[in-house]
């Protein structure tokens, strides 16, 4: 259920975990597990991740400052005891943020969640109880999960805070690598969510309840058209909680999100591919306002297509063409057609989030090209380019909040150029990640009524992760 810390760190890139493990030291030079005397039956590990990031040429509407910077710190501590058929596990998350400028709206529960018990579970290993040659497990309690492509449900890697859920999950896999994952969960509501609490990194226990429920399943079939096929369906039930003055007001989403994904992993000297298509139906309200009590039908969609090739040459360069298309909402108040990415991650598709993050799976048409290469086993690099258009010119563009309800600003949002370099300064122990992004604003981000007059957006970040 839990990848090694090295593989988790490399998951967002193209360097395969197996290849990296053959070339690099995969255990930290200082390992807490070893320092504690290698207690039998235990897994113990942790990370400390400081990050500094800065942004100029703000793309968000006011009162967001024209430039901003942020220092964030994420610490995790994981422990699991295996009794044989039963595993007892837990993980502490500590996510804090500092040095925000006055008036900035970047600090939110996506950056701050101080001292939280994100995982506390029992894992039941059922071995081949579901059939000869199979392996199955049941996990109950608080846990994180990566499902499928991670575009709808993910354990966040770049974001400072991490999605967590309370519930039960069943996993099954046979000898042919066919798999099944079923789950019923209550997503955690991160606290505090008031601005004074966020700015002071206050400690408040996250909560869950029947007001928000996420459930579903995914079937994985190996050996389909030279790759792997995933078919899934997820349900989300949401309603307001608490009182109008002190509770959490929601859009009362009742969503069913089916989809499929066909992909072939990158391999030297071969073409690889990925195609994912998702539909979304159900009901939701147009706003979170207390006075909005009208449920409207939802009909939305998202498509991702990718074709890549990895050359059999020095540095193993891989070139890929990408295309993303996510529906936006029109001006008809009697329906909602804007795609909702649920609890998915987006850094691996669209670049850094946090202070940056203008692109997401909503009201988006975006073709792109990416080049990835690994000059050494402890070093990998990528650069990417994306064109950005609105699927619907009257809806806000992606995650920017920029909107021209008349549609007169057109559909062209701009272009994004991004690059990243990662290097293991100390293999297995210290990973440095340097990223930059440049957003050349198009007509919508320059001319829409609420667009800031701040010029193009420039972003940079330096992240160091220590493993122990």
pLDDT tens digits for range 54-100: 999 999 998 889 999 999 999 999 999 999 899 999 999 999 999 87
Q: How far apart are CA 411 and CA 275, in angstroms?
A: 25
Q: How far apart are CA 413 and CA 403, in angstroms?
A: 11
pLDDT tens digits for range 201-224: 999 999 999 999 999 999 999 999
Identify the sign of the CA torsion 129, 131, 136, 141. negative
CA 213 to chain centre: 19
Q: Look at the domain 5-467 and name its fold.
A: Porin (2.40.160)
Q: Note whether 368 and 422 are within 8 A (CB).
A: no
- pLDDT at residue 197 tops 50: yes
Quote the pLDDT of residue 199: 87
In the chain, where are the structural domains located? 5-467
Residue 184 is given by DSSP the state E
- pLDDT at residue 466 tops 90: yes
pTM, two decimal places: 0.92
- pLDDT at residue 101 tops 50: yes
Give, for 276, the enclosing helix (H) or strand (E).
strand 271-284
Question: Could you tell me if residue 122 is left (phi over 0), alpha (psi between -120 and 50 degrees) or otherwise beta?
Answer: beta
Quote the pLDDT of residue 102: 63
What burial class does residue 194 get, using C-beta atoms within 10 Å of its C-beta: 0-12 exposed, 13-18 middle, 19+ buried? exposed
Q: How far apart are CA 50 and CA 313, in angstroms?
A: 35
Banded pLDDT at 391 (limits 50, 70, 90): very high
In order of 113, 196, 306, 420, 439, the CA distances from 383 in angstroms are 31, 38, 16, 7, 14
């Amino acid at each position: 259920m839990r990848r090694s810390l090295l593989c988790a760190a490399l998951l967002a890139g193209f360097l395969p975990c197996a290849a990296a493990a053959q070339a690099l030291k995969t255990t930290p030079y200082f390992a807490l597990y070893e320092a504690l005397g290698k207690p039998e039956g235990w897994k113990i590990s942790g990370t400390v991740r400081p990050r500094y990031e800065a942004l100029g040429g703000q793309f968000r509407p006011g009162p967001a400052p024209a430039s901003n910077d942020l220092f964030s710190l994420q610490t995790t501590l994981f422990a699991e005891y295996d009794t044989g058929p039963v595993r007892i596990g837990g993980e502490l998350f500590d996510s804090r943020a500092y040095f925000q400028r006055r008036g900035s709206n970047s600090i939110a529960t996506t950056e701050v969640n101080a001292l939280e018990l994100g995982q506390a579970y029992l894992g039941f290993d059922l071995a081949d109880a579901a059939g000869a040659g199979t392996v199955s497990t049941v996990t109950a309690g608080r846990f994180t999960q990566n499902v499928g492509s991670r575009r709808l449900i993910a354990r966040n890697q770049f974001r400072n805070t991490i999605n967590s859920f309370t519930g039960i999950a069943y996993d099954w896999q046979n000898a042919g690598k066919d798999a099944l994952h079923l789950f019923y969960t209550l997503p955690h509501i991160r606290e505090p969510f008031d601005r004074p609490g966020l700015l002071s990194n206050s400690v408040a226990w996250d909560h869950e309840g029947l007001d928000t429920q996420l459930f579903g399943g995914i079937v994985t079939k190996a050996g389909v058209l030279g790759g792997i096929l995933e078919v899934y369906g997820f349900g989300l039930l949401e309603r307001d909680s608490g009182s109008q003055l002190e509770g959490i007001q929601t859009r009362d989403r009742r969503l069913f999100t089916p989809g499929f994904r066909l992909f072939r992993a990158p391999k030297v000297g071969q073409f690889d591919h990925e195609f994912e298509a998702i539909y979304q139906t159900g009901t939701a309200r147009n706003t979170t306002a207390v006075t909005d009590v009208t449920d409207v039908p939802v009909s939305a969609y998202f498509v991702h297509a990718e074709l890549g090739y990895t050359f059999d040459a020095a540095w193993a360069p891989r070139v890929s063409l990408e295309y993303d298309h996510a529906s936006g909402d029109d001006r008809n108040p009697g329906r909602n057609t804007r795609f909702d990415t649920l609890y998915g991650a987006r850094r691996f598709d669209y670049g850094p989030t946090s202070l940056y993050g203008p692109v997401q799976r909503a009201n988006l048409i975006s073709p792109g090209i990416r080049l990835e290469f690994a000059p050494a086993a402890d070093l990998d690099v990528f650069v990417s380019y994306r064109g950005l258009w609105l699927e619907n010119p009257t809806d806000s563009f992606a995650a920017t909040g920029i909107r021209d309800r008349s549609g007169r600003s057109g559909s062209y949002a701009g272009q994004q150029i991004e690059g990243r370099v990662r290097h293991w300064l100390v293999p297995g122990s210290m990973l440095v990640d340097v990223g930059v992004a440049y957003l050349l604003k198009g007509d919508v981000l320059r001319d829409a009524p609420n667009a800031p007059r701040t010029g193009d957006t420039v972003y940079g970040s330096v992240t160091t992760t220590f493993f122990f």
